[in-house]
């Protein structure tokens, strides 16, 4: 009996903000590696999500949504991060939201189609479309402008038609030995995920008051016995934002702390003692140095 050779390779997931890139990856990995929210520009870092099965190792690259917004250093950084992810990968999954084809989608499609890897057009959020036959004309509009090797219709949220998509990606991967250990799920540290889980709670709670101007850094992470002691700083841009995050008599911050702690405990599988502080660093989103200091300097590792 001949043993089938294992596959190994990289698949970048690209698309404009909010199309469901992180939701899809979390669904395939069966773990919340990337934070998700209904707000665009949730993902700010390039994250590797490593999916090891008996067929081999599929390494997803989750990217920040490609957007049209100009201006701040953070905005530029997000686009650069996403664009750099389209090179040197075996497969590009280009995600769009069913029945939505905007200028931002076109911009993202241009980036995706520049890749020298195989290109899969993924129509997500199909669950939202009542008359499915409309999808054919929708897809034709995209295909009039861009070329793809395969097309898939999925619902990442409802876990629909994900397996055929996964099969298609594996088909395109080259044969090779795994790059990462079998039990490794990401290239990121626990501290990174902890700060992301806190940022997720901030986005969910203050999505109107704090547009994009929050960031989280971990100041201390110590394991004493069975408890993980974590000190984190929430960075905001203005004094009034600090007041919002803390809330009346510290109530808002307390709730953020409780919810974040629960998420972190679930993620690391241990008890957590979480302490949060709020600090003001004016216009950090506009300051390239501050962006580096907060860990927004992703480099593609291979």
Ligand X SMILES: Nc1nc2c(ncn2[C@@H]2O[C@H](COP(=O)(O)OP(=O)(O)OP(=O)(O)O)[C@@H](O)[C@H]2O)c(=O)[nH]1
- Would the annotation count 5 as a binding residue? no
Binding residue per annotation — 91?
no
Rounded distance between C-alpha atoms, residue 173 and residue 93, angstroms? 13
Site size toward ligand X (CB under 6 A) is: 25
What CA–CA distance (Å, rounded) separates 64 from 67?
A: 9
Query: Are 284 and 290 a contacting pair, CB within 8 Å?
Result: yes
Cα dihedral across residues 95, 99, 104, 109: positive or negative: positive
CA distance 184 to 189: 11
* Residues 6 or more apart whose Cβ sits within 8 Å of residue 190: 221, 268
What residues numbered 130-159 form the site for ligand X, per CB under 6 A? 155-158
Specify burial of residue 23 (Cβ count, 10 A radius: 0-12, 13-18, 19+). buried
User: Site residues for ligand X, window 1-40 (CB under 6 A)?
Assistant: 15, 17-23, 36-38, 40
65 is in an annotated binding site: yes
Q: Is 66 annotated as a binding residue?
A: yes
- CB nearest ligand X: which residue? 65
- Distance of alpha carbon 281 from alpha carbon 200, whole angstroms: 20
Which partner, ligand X, Mg ion, none, binds residue 155 by CB below 5 to 8 Å per kind? ligand X
Residues 7-46: x where in contact with Mg ion by CB under 5 A, - otherwise, as a string: --------------xx-------------------xx---
Q: 22: annotated binding-site residue? A: yes
Is 126 annotated as ligand-binding? yes
Quote the least distance from Cβ 14 to Mg ion, whole Å.
11
CB atoms within 10 A of CB 288: 14
| Residues 126 and 209 sit within 8 Å (Cβ to Cβ) | no
| Contact pattern from residue 56 through residue 85 relative to ligand X, giving x for each residue in contact according to CB under 6 A and a dash for the rest | --------xx--------------------
Query: Per the annotation, does 100 bind a ligand?
Result: no
- The least distance separating ligand X from the CB of residue 66, rounded to whole angstroms, comes to 8
Minimum CB separation from Mg ion for residue 19, in Å?
9
Residue with tokens 């972190």: 264
Given Mg ion, ligand X, none, residue 271, with its beta carbon under 5 to 8 Å by kind, binds none
CA distance 202 to 297: 22
Interface with Mg ion, residue 81, by CB under 5 A: no
Applying CB under 6 A, does 125 fall inside the site for ligand X? Answer: yes
Cβ atoms of residues 265 and 259 within 8 Å: no
- Return residues touching ligand X (CB under 6 A): 15, 17-23, 36-38, 40-43, 64-65, 124-125, 127-128, 155-158
Q: Given the rule CB under 5 A, which residues bind Mg ion?
A: 21-22, 42-43
Binding residue ranges for GTP: 15-22, 62-66, 124-127
């Amino acid at each position: 009996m001949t043993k089938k050779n294992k596959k190994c390779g990289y698949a970048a997931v690209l698309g404009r903000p909010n199309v469901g890139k992180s939701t899809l990856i979390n669904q395939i990995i069966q773990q919340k590696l990337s934070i998700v929210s209904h707000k665009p520009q949730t993902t700010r870092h390039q994250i590797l999500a490593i999916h090891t099965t008996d067929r081999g190792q599929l390494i997803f690259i989750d990217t920040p949504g490609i957007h049209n917004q100009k201006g701040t250093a953070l905005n530029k950084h997000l686009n650069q991060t996403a664009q750099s992810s389209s090179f040197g990968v075996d497969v590009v999954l280009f995600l769009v939201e069913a029945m939505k084809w905007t200028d931002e989608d076109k911009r993202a499609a241009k980036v995706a189609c520049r890749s020298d890897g195989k290109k899969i057009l993924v129509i997500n959020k199909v669950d939202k479309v009542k008359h499915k036959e409309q999808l054919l004309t929708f897809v034709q509009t995209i295909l009039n402008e861009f070329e793809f090797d395969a097309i898939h219709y999925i619902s990442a949220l409802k876990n629909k038609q994900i397996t055929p998509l996964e099969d298609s990606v594996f088909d395109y991967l080259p044969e090779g030995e795994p790059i990462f250990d079998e039990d490794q799920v990401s290239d990121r540290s626990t501290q990174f995920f902890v700060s992301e889980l806190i940022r997720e709670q901030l986005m969910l709670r203050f999505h109107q008051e704090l547009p994009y101007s929050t960031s989280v850094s971990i100041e201390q992470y110590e394991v004493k016995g069975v408890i993980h002691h974590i000190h984190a700083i929430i960075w905001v841009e203005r004094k009034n934002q600090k007041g919002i995050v803390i809330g009346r008599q510290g109530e808002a911050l307390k709730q953020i702390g409780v919810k974040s702690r629960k998420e972190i405990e679930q993620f690391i599988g241990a008890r957590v003692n979480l302490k949060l502080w709020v600090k003001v660093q004016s216009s950090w989103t506009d300051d390239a140095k501050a962006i580096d200091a907060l860990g927004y300097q992703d480099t593609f590792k291979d």
